[in-house]
A = this chain, B = another copy of it.
Amino acid sequence: MITNANNTPAIILTNPQMGENIGASARAMLNFGLTDLRIVNPRDGWPNERADATSSGALEQMPPVQVYNTLNEAIADLQYCFATTSRQRDMVKPVYEPDGAMKETHQRVNNGQKIGFVFGAERTGLTNEGLSLCQAILTFPTSPEFFSINLAQSVLLIAYEWNKLIHNETAPALEIGDSFPADMGDVDGFLKRLMGDLDERRFFRDENLKPTTIRNIQNIFTRADITDQELRTLHGVLSALRGNKVQSK
């Protein structure tokens, strides 16, 4: 059994449709030293015989795949996530190709952060909701004439670039001062509290627009790469604005 190496990136497959692709993703990961595979709401359940077959033994040798009901839960212990997408989206986030994303990843890993790469369903890709939970976008430089890349193939490119980078050079640690990025679960907790307050104050007057507005607000805070300390400050700000007793710092 191969154990999870410290701080190697996690691969998160949301709503994967075909077991074949999950197994092939696991094989590609293990080929290049990645072992932390998480799946959210797989169409055909888990475990999956077709996944076992295409993994060529990878699923037996790597730590057990973690299965979640929501993407929020799957990334709660991570500090920074890339959303992989082939289509242009109307969202303001930094956009990387695999090698650039890996440089960013490596710096963050050297800083002690845990990073995730989030993939959508085969046919539809990642939802806008899923995308809004991630700090950055990763695209593959595929041909504009034939751009749809197989799920396991795109997982392979992440694993391959990761392996290449850690064997090539040591990246400097990212300079973010003493503070450490907040866990995404904690950011989510703050956002839930904010949304609850806004609901109470009847901020969302048009139910149809509510999901978009929520996504817009989430995007602001995920993009900001918030630290633990800042998250505490934001909770204090929220309490003050609501008129609650401000907690002592």
Contacts and interface: CB of A to CB of B under 8 A. Distances in A.
A148 interface: yes
B27 A150 contact: yes
A100 B170 contact: yes
13 contacts: A27-B153, A31-B142, A61-B145, A89-B177, A94-B175, A95-B174, A95-B175, A141-B171, A153-B153, A205-B246, A217-B237, A220-B234, A223-B225
Interface in A167-195: 167, 170-179, 181, 194
B238 A97 contact: no
Nearest to A153: B156
A236 B174 CA distance: 33
A10 to B, nearest CB: 17
A99 B95 CA distance: 23
B95 A143 contact: no
A68 interface: no
A172 to B, nearest CB: 8
A148 B147 CA distance: 27
A230 B203 contact: no
A224 B227 contact: no
A72 interface: no
Contact of A224 (B32, B95, B148, B220): B220
Contact of A179 (B30, B92, B95, B249): B92
Contacts of A39: none
A88 B179 CA distance: 13
Contacts of A201: 240-241, 243, 246
Nearest to A198: B240
